[in-house]
């Protein structure tokens, strides 16, 4: 059977492979040339775009940043790394799920009309195209450009004798002790290949007997992906470094051939019984993820022999369709290390988040956030506004204030133990305050970190809750209860992003700080629901999922549809998948409502289709910062519009299987700030892409040079400078 590979120039290659045994999917998998367009069972083009292909299109937009010569060189390398890591997660979760559906004989179609087989076929074609493009960017663009600035990727046979001698010493002292060659013979079964591990497949021959054997050497993940030369400006891929020393690992044997390979496994385990202790259940899932997930992808070097490839496919129970041939080093996620080089001229200029004017305080007096919030709500926009001087400062003041009785907070993706937020919560608990922290242990790939933070909080005396059975708690909410002369008062924060200072410097997010009594009452009821047995069917200000959120949003879409051409809807989110919401937007478009959608990632809505979505425009902003905020505006802006922010994307998982919250922003000053953010996003012609009716994405041609990230940085600096002028009497 042929093995279809992809060269760096994008051409398909038939290179042939012998794979013994019955492959899992061969008998059902159509050839690559089969059409991949989404069609309904009746053969008509679907009104929805495919979720998985739309995600791959987002990753293609990430790849385009690596291709862009206007992007600083080390940032381009970083985007190649992000592309690789994104693709790893896609195979671990999405592709593995489709393969399981196919293996179970399920033929149900997704809303776009494709069954699991059709989706896998389309994914395979798109991934091969993107991986070949990534390899070409690395080998033909990034590597030569790095060499021009004194950073070179060396092959072992290109190194000088001095460099080899030094690296021999490095190998003996730091690498050899952690390597374990594993032979495969009648006495040694094929070893387990762990998820995302880089390995060398080695063929050796015994010169005495002439027997040829296969062995596997795991490339230790604790070692740097690329080994640095003495001058710090040259690198050798770790697998090449190890391959050059195989004679040390197999003394007395003849090394015939060696090839790098990498295996991706299913990492999307469901809890078998959520009635058991959730902490123990999650720890069990983590052990199973690292050991027992079935293989879903095999990445191999383009020079691998047919014999070795056949052996790997057979032992891993994979078919030719699960093989990705890479004409570049495997696991380019390791390029993140290059981004840390001391070459600031090759990176984006560093951005220093600004302290919002209202949170600045004075030289004579530190800011009292509680007194500030008595005067009105405060909107913060990260990373342009400082997370440290807003959200972290709010929690820190609450932890230190002797009048604060309780702090309640959700944590979805936590930072390290040095996190100021975690330290403040621990300090508050140790001081005797009632601290309740809902730690979401089911936040995929952050489970271990969340377990560690949960235990640290429990040891300090905080009440740690792990959420609701069957639901992930994704809402970003914080409640502070304070005793004041007039009685109990509640202070709140509701945001779009995680309480994580690391991601707050990279992710674009919005948060609202407020002392609004109705919001405080809503959050009290929501926390009681999350930690106890109470249940509020309606809230004063919040829309909550599951429950009121989908219906509330669809109702507001319907109100705009009733206005006809006078209606307007603007939404900004990460993903738009939910069929009910999409159909409501289609109905509003047919009623004449102008609809602008800014969707960073997945979008299953098909815009600009005559008679269906003529009045809908979809764009995506992809650049230096990860667009992460969710904003839903109904109306043209200003006083006649409703502005909502919160944690929820418009996906079935968010609306049905997660606890999410949205809050209206009612202060005219803050609504104007949100209008400004949306206006800049819609005017962008540097970072923006537009979605076409056929599902393809087109980069917006640059005319005015509006870069969303640069423009918002400029506005943040201008606000800070204006505040400084007022403070020193120059304003």
Higher-pLDDT residue of 81, 362: 81
Q: Which 8-state DSSP code applies to residue 731?
A: -
Tell me what pLDDT residue 724 has.
60
What pTM, to 2 d.p., does this model score? 0.89
Other Cβ atoms within 10 Å of 619 Cβ, number:
23
How would you classify the pairing of strands 507-514 and 487-495? antiparallel
Has residue 218 got a pLDDT over 60? Answer: yes
Backbone Cα Rg of the chain: 28
Choose the weakest-confidence range: 40-49, 439-448, 676-685: 439-448
DSSP string, 257-312: EEEEEEEEE---PPPS-TTS-HHHHHHHHHHHHHHTPPEEEEEEETT--HHHHHHH
Residue from 30, 193, 56 nearest 126 by CA: 56
- What the block records as the tokens of 73 is 């060189």
Q: What pLDDT digit, counting tens, does each position of 136-177 carry?
A: 999 999 999 999 999 999 999 999 999 999 999 999 999 999
Cα separation, 479 vs 495, whole angstroms: 12
Considering the chain, what is the average pLDDT of its residues? 87
Query: What φ, ψ does residue 113 adopt, rounded to 5°?
Result: 105, 0
- What the block records as the tokens of 510 is 């919005």
Tell me what pLDDT residue 291 has.
53
Q: What pLDDT digit, counting tens, does each position of 468-479 carry?
A: 777 888 999 999
Residue 436, beta-bridge partner list: 408, 463
SS3 173: helix
Give the confidence band of 356 by pLDDT, cuts at 50, 70, 90. Answer: confident
Cα torsion 350, 352, 353, 354: sign: negative
Alpha helices in 149-184 (DSSP H): 161-170
Give the confidence band of 446 by pLDDT, cuts at 50, 70, 90. Answer: low
Residue from 553, 614, 592, 651 nearest 606 by CA: 614
- What's the mean pLDDT in 335-363? 87
Cα torsion 700, 704, 710, 713: sign: negative
Contact between residue 543 and residue 526 where contact means Cβ atoms under 8 Å apart = no
* Displacement of CA 425 from its chain's centroid (Å): 26
- What's the mean pLDDT in 536-542? 84
Residue from 193, 189, 199 nearest 265 by CA: 193
Has residue 5 got a pLDDT over 70? Answer: no
Looking at 321, 381, 382, 474, which residue is catalytic?
A: 474
Cα separation, 106 vs 129, whole angstroms: 27
Cα separation, 561 vs 498, whole angstroms: 33
Q: Which 8-state DSSP code applies to residue 321?
A: G
Hey, what's the torsion of the CAs at 504, 509, 515, 516, to 10 degrees?
Answer: -160
Pairs from 530-535 (Cβ < 8 Å, separation ≥ 24): 530/410, 530/438, 530/465, 530/467, 530/468, 530/473, 530/659, 531/436, 531/438, 531/463, 531/465
Has residue 18 got a pLDDT over 60? Answer: no
Cα separation, 183 vs 315, whole angstroms: 14
Higher-pLDDT residue of 720, 12: 720
Residue from 316, 301, 330, 331 nearest 3 by CA: 301
DSSP string, 646-714: ES--BSHHHHHSEEEEEEEE--HHHHHHHHHHHHHHHH--SSEEEE-TTS-EEEPPPSS---HHHHHHH
Q: Which 8-state DSSP code applies to residue 332?
A: G
Higher-pLDDT residue of 137, 34: 137
| 3, 193, 266, 299, 661 from 88: Cα distances, Å | 21, 16, 10, 11, 30
As a residue count, the chain comes to 731
Residue 493 annotated to the active site: no
Has residue 6 got a pLDDT over 50? Answer: no
Cα separation, 511 vs 670, whole angstroms: 11
Give the confidence band of 264 by pLDDT, cuts at 50, 70, 90. Answer: very high
- Highest-pLDDT range among 155-159, 268-272, 359-363: 155-159
DSSP string, 569-596: EEEEES-B--HHHHHHHHHHHHTT-EEE
Choose the weakest-confidence range: 15-19, 64-68, 269-273, 359-363: 15-19
Instruction: Please enumerate in sequence order all residues whose Cβ is within 8 A of that of 452, keeping only pairs 6 or more positions apart, or say none.
Output: 417
* Displacement of CA 49 from its chain's centroid (Å): 21
Other Cβ atoms within 10 Å of 339 Cβ, number:
16
Choose the weakest-confidence range: 219-223, 400-404, 601-605: 219-223
Has residue 628 got a pLDDT over 90? Answer: yes
Has residue 35 got a pLDDT over 70? Answer: no
Higher-pLDDT residue of 274, 389: 389
Query: Which H or E element spans position 632?
Result: strand 630-634
Tell me what pLDDT residue 534 has.
62
How would you classify the pairing of strands 4-6 and 12-14? antiparallel
Residue from 589, 399, 391, 591 nearest 493 by CA: 391
Q: Which runs of E-coded beta strand occur in 372-486?
A: 378-382, 404-411, 434-439, 463-465, 472-473, 476-484
Cα separation, 476 vs 647, whole angstroms: 6
Residue from 427, 549, 412 nearest 478 by CA: 412
Contact between residue 194 and residue 188 where contact means Cβ atoms under 8 Å apart = no
- What's the mean pLDDT in 420-436? 92
Contact between residue 625 and residue 383 where contact means Cβ atoms under 8 Å apart = yes
Cα separation, 476 vs 456, whole angstroms: 21
CA atoms within 13 A on the CB side of 323: 33
Angle between helices 51-67 and 73-90 (to 10 degrees): 160
Burial class of residue 684 (count of CB atoms within 10 Å of its CB; 0-12, 13-18, 19+): buried
- What the block records as the tokens of 191 is 């070893």
Cα separation, 231 vs 629, whole angstroms: 42
Q: Which 8-state DSSP code applies to residue 26?
A: T
SS3 183: strand
Q: Which domains does the chain have, with CATH numbers?
A: 357-531 (3.30.870.10), 543-727 (3.30.870.10)
Q: What pLDDT digit, counting tens, does each position of 553-587 carry?
A: 999 999 999 999 999 999 999 999 999 999 999 99
């Amino acid at each position: 059977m042929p093995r279809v590979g992809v060269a760096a120039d994008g051409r398909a290659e038939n290179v042939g492979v012998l794979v013994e045994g019955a492959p899992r999917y061969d008998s059902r998998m159509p050839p690559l040339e089969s059409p991949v367009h989404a069609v309904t069972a009746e053969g008509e083009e679907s009104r929805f775009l495919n979720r998985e292909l739309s995600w791959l299109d987002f990753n293609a937009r990430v790849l385009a940043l690596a291709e862009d010569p206007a992007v600083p060189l080390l940032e381009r390398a970083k985007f190649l790394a992000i592309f690789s890591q994104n693709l790893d997660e896609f195979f671990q979760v999405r592709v593995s799920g489709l393969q399981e559906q196919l293996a179970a004989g399920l033929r149900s179609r997704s809303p776009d009309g494709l069954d699991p087989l059709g989706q896998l076929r389309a994914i395979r074609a798109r991934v091969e195209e993107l991986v070949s493009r990534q390899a070409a960017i690395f080998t033909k663009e990034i590597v030569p450009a790095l060499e021009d600035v004194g950073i070179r990727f060396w092959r072992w046979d290109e190194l000088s004798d001095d460099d080899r001698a030094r690296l021999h010493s490095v190998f003996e002292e730091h690498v050899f002790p952690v390597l374990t060659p594993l032979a495969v013979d009648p006495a040694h079964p094929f070893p387990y290949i762990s998820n995302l591990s880089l390995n060398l497949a080695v063929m050796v021959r015994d010169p005495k007997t002439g027997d040829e054997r296969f062995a596997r050497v795991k490339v230790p993940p604790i070692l740097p992906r690329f080994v640095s030369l003495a001058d710090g400006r040259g690198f050798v891929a770790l697998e090449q470094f190890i391959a050059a020393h195989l004679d040390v690992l197999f003394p007395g044997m003849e090394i015939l051939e060696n090839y790098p390979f990498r295996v991706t496994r299913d990492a999307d385990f469901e809890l078998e019984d959520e009635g058991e202790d959730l902490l123990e259940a999650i720890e069990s899932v983590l052990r199973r993820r690292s050991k027992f997930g079935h293989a879903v992808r095999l990445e191999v070097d383009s020079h691998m022999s047919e014999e070795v490839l056949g052996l790997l496919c057979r032992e891993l129970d994979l078919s030719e369709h699960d093989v990705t041939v890479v004409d570049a080093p495997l696991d380019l996620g390791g390029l993140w290390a290059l981004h840390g080089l001391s070459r600031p001229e090759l990176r984006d200029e560093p951005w220093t988040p600004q302290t919002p004017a209202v949170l600045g305080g004075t030289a004579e007096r530190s800011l009292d956030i509680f007194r500030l919030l008595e005067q009105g709500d405060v909107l913060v926009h990260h990373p342009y506004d400082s997370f440290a001087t807003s959200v972290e400062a709010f929690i820190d003041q609450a932890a230190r204030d002797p009048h604060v009785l309780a702090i309640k907070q959700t944590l979805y993706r936590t930072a390290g133990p040095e996190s100021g937020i975690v330290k403040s919560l621990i300090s508050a608990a140790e001081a005797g305050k009632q601290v309740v922290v809902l730690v979401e242990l089911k936040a995929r790939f952050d489970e271990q970190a969340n377990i560690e933070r949960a235990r640290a909080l429990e040891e300090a005396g905080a009440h740690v809750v792990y959420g609701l059975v069957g639901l992930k708690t994704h809402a970003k909410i914080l409640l502070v209860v304070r005793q004041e002369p007039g009685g109990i008062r509640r202070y709140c924060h509701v945001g779009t992003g995680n309480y994580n200072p690391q991601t707050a410097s990279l992710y674009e997010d919005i948060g609202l700080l407020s002392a609004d009594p109705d919001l405080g009452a809503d959050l009290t009821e929501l926390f009681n629901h999350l930690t106890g047995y109470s249940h509020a069917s309606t809230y004063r200000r919040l829309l909550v999922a599951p429950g009121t959120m989908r219906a509330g949003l669809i109702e507001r879409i319907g109100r705009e549809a009733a206005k006809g051409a006078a209606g307007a809807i603007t939404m900004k989110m990460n993903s738009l998948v939910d069929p009910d919401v999409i159909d409501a937007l289609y109905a509003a478009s047919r009623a004449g409502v102008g609809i602008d959608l800014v969707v960073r990632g997945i979008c299953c809505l098909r815009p600009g289709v005559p008679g269906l979505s003529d009045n809908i425009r979809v764009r995506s902003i992809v650049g230096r910062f990860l667009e992460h905020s969710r904003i839903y505006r109904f109306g043209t802006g200003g006083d006649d519009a409703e502005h909502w922010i919160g944690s929820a994307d418009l996906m079935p998982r968010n609306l049905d299987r997660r606890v999410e919250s949205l809050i209206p922003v009612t202060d005219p000053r803050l609504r104007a700030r949100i209008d400004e953010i949306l206006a800049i996003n819609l005017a962008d012609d540097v970072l923006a892409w537009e979605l076409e009716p056929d599902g393809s994405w087109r980069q917006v041609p640059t005319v005015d040079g509006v870069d969303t990230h640069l423009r918002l940085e400029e506005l943040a600096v201008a606000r800070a400078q204006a505040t400084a002028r007022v403070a020193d009497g120059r304003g």
